[in-house]
Amino acid sequence: MIQDDEHLHEEAEAIRRETAKGAPEVAEHDHVAELERQLEEAKSAALYAAAETQNVRRRLEAEKSQASAYAAAGFARDMLAIKDHLDRALAAVSDELRADKVASQFLAGIESTSREIESVFQRNGITRITSIGEALDPHRHQAMMEVPTDDAEPGTIVDELQAGYMMKDRLLRPALVGVAKKP
């Protein structure tokens, strides 16, 4: 029995020595695994930061492009009022006044100014919205009244009270219109 106890004691000691030898390997393996995990997290964080930076750069470039493309929108809206006044003045001129030599020269100057404004609008991507005969589009037209008529389908624009304008793909001002309805 003493031999069995000694034998068991020797086996236990051998196991303890092996475990002690193996423990640093296990600890080292766990340490390497932890470092690899941290490296993967750092790579992931770096990729996320790079992607976020790229997204911010793209968003800022798009905002800059939009800002420069539409920077003149406020000025263009103000110019629309001048164009409206010139158009109303020209529409109010009678045929008699147009026949008068002095008045016709004055009117030619007003017409020339109106054409020049239209030319400036065209160069800057400002276009008049077509209205009469079109279906009402709430994104481009503002219905001001309904006109009872059999000449057009209900919902069709039959009168334009004020012209609407677009600047490239943005609405500067909706057209104020009269829309057909059944009598």
Give, for 30, the enclosing helix (H) or strand (E).
Answer: helix 2-69
Domain count along the chain: 2
**What CATH number does residue 164 fall under?**
2.30.22.10
Last residue of some domain: 43, 69, 95?
69
The pLDDT > 90 percentage for the chain reads: 64
Residue 178 confidence class, pLDDT cut points 50, 70, 90 = very high
Token pair for 135: 């279906």
pLDDT in tens, 32-46: 888 999 999 999 999
pLDDT in tens, 21-77: 555 555 677 888 889 999 999 999 999 999 999 999 999 998 888 887 778 888 899
96 & 163 share domain: yes
124 & 158 share domain: yes
pLDDT of residue 143: 96
50 & 7 share domain: yes
60 & 86 share domain: no
Instruction: Tell me the residue type at 62.
Output: A
61 & 83 share domain: no
Other Cβ atoms within 10 Å of 175 Cβ, number = 25
pTM for the full predicted model? 0.64
Other Cβ atoms within 10 Å of 172 Cβ, number = 20
150 & 85 share domain: yes
90 & 160 share domain: yes
Instruction: Tell me the residue type at 83.
Output: K
**DSSP secondary-structure letter at 151?**
S
95 & 174 share domain: yes
Query: Which of 172, 175, 174 has the alpha carbon at shortest distance from 158?
Result: 175
Last residue of some domain: 52, 69, 86?
69
Other Cβ atoms within 10 Å of 121 Cβ, number = 19
Token pair for 15: 């196991």
25 & 108 share domain: no
95 & 46 share domain: no
pLDDT in tens, 90-144: 999 999 988 999 889 989 999 999 999 999 999 999 999 999 999 999 999 999 9
pLDDT of residue 31: 85
Q: Which residues of 16-40 are buried (b: 16+ CB within 10 A; e: fewer)?
A: eeeeeeeeeeeeeeeeeeeeeeeee
Q: Which domain holds residue 90?
A: 73-181
pLDDT of residue 69: 74
In Å, how far from its chain's centre is CA 98?
Answer: 47
Last residue of some domain: 36, 53, 69?
69
Token pair for 178: 């009269």
79 & 168 share domain: yes
**DSSP secondary-structure letter at 163?**
-
pLDDT of residue 13: 66
